[in-house]
Structure 1
């Protein structure tokens, strides 16, 4: 099934050159940090300007990082923090921002909508409404993506989602609830959100599942990868993968050209890894993403 994105056109008033130029300039400059209401943008008047800002959708924030040196519409990665965490912490731990600067893609770090941390010293820590039947964070993330597309030059066929822990569960939910808009997914130390809702069409898309031997969510992550393989129709004959500190690595061929990746690292715990292991996680996730744009 093909999914076609419709773009709006900016009207031009004949003879009013000054007004048209002002309108185009307004569309090409990113909104100031703290803008609360996303404004409609135009695909032909998007910005390639480097940006580091915090934006808000109905009071719920996300960080936007646009690297310097973009010359064309870029891929977008939306990366979700774990439960009881926040976008800034996840940005530092995941290492996606410097990686995105090297690979020339845009990365965004939204904040979960569930305020479940009763600690005045942690005012920014949140979790995700990942459960079926609650669309609060599903709709929020779709609005984040629309807001970014409306202002910066995004390759609509290359919008990806990754998540850590509870953010991995939210990633699982989005794979079911928003598969037409998103190209591929990956999680580290996450798990299933409970399975796709009945009656919701799900596109057969690629998904990477990453964990470590001492991660307490290893079993749920393994179960989630089995569940997704069943959902999109994957074969059992896997290609073996290797990498730094990889204990198990498999890539399963699935229907319509999709892949499911299972990758378990030696030792290690629940936190997003650093060092050589963190580099391998980013490299392998990004390889999966690059190989699987929207059709």
Structure 2
């Protein structure tokens, strides 16, 4: 009994003497500032929510093509949502300069410039992974609750993260940009299944405009787009092993909602379309956060 008692005492002493986990000290609550990410040579705008500090959920909001982090923060109005619900909000710039802003590197898919990114272009997936690790290392975020949303080209990038970085992200919410892999070279009206093979079920909520002529929900458009949004939804449902389609319904907001449920790992696939909206931020930020909040890795 004496040896057991000493063991408990030793354990208590070890716990008492162990260094406390580093608390997040980045930024001032309720403000946004530019943060350099480790030794990557890149930075991002980080909004620290108002309220208590701690390991918060992290949402990346990704700008559209030729845009930047500052523009998407202003256009999405997600900073206010961050303050209401207590999640960190990160707005990086894409790794490839284009026009007055940046575009994202989605391998094998042409950007809005018409150029397919090459091996010398910045690896945006690697950078976002490094940002997660760096913010977690500062004691600022919970690695199990990291999410991505984005507008247009940023929505396509969020979709790509769902395909290739499911081990890092707990959910995605593309806005006028849902994809499920690159358009097939054999028939671009369909996604190429070889280009989207997530390592785990990926919860997806996507927002779109019924009158979007840039990324039309019925397909067509530029070389990076082509296949209809419904085919992207169906592909994600297949990848997630969803067994039950949801009946289409009209919400009080006027949005049309459809999707799939009863999926592996508790995943969902939800699409919300604003019939009269064009190529713009159509997301219901509160609904987006409610979706993210019920999913974690």
TM-score after normalising by structure 2: 0.74
> 5+ unaligned residues in a row in structure 1: which ranges?
1-16, 25-42
Quick one: structure 1 residues 177 and 155, their matched pair in 2 at CA, closer, same or farther if it must change by over 3 Å? Answer: same
| Separation of aligned partners in 1, 2:150 and 2:32 | 21
> 5+ unaligned residues in a row in structure 2: which ranges?
1-16, 109-117, 183-191, 219-227
The aligned residue for residue 44 of structure 2 is 62
Match of 2:21 among 44, 51, 61: 44
The aligned residue for residue 285 of structure 2 is 282
CA contact (8 A) 2:165 2:198 kept: no
Match of 1:128 among 104, 109, 113: 104
CA contact (8 A) 1:210 1:221 kept: no
Aligned counterparts, 1:1-295, within 5 A: 44-47=21-24, 50=29, 52-57=32-37, 58-117=40-99, 122=100, 125-131=101-107, 136-192=123-179, 193-194=181-182, 197=194, 202-216=199-213, 217=215, 218-219=217-218, 220-238=228-246, 240=248, 242-253=250-261, 254-273=263-282, 278=283, 281-294=284-297
**Which consecutive segments of 4 or more residues in structure 1 shift more than 4 A?**
132-135, 195-201, 239-242
Quick one: structure 1 residues 56 and 224, their matched pair in 2 at CA, closer, same or farther if it must change by over 3 Å? Answer: farther
CA contact (8 A) 2:233 2:259 kept: no
CA displacement at 1:226 relative to structure 2: 1.9
TM-score after normalising by structure 1: 0.74
| Separation of aligned partners in 1, 2:165 and 2:193 | 11
CA displacement at 1:252 relative to structure 2: 1.3
| Separation of aligned partners in 2, 1:199 and 1:187 | 15
CA-atom RMSD, angstroms? 2.6
Quick one: structure 1 residues 71 and 61, their matched pair in 2 at CA, closer, same or farther if it must change by over 3 Å? Answer: closer
The number of residue pairs the alignment matches comes to 243
3-state secondary structure, aligned to 1:238:
strand
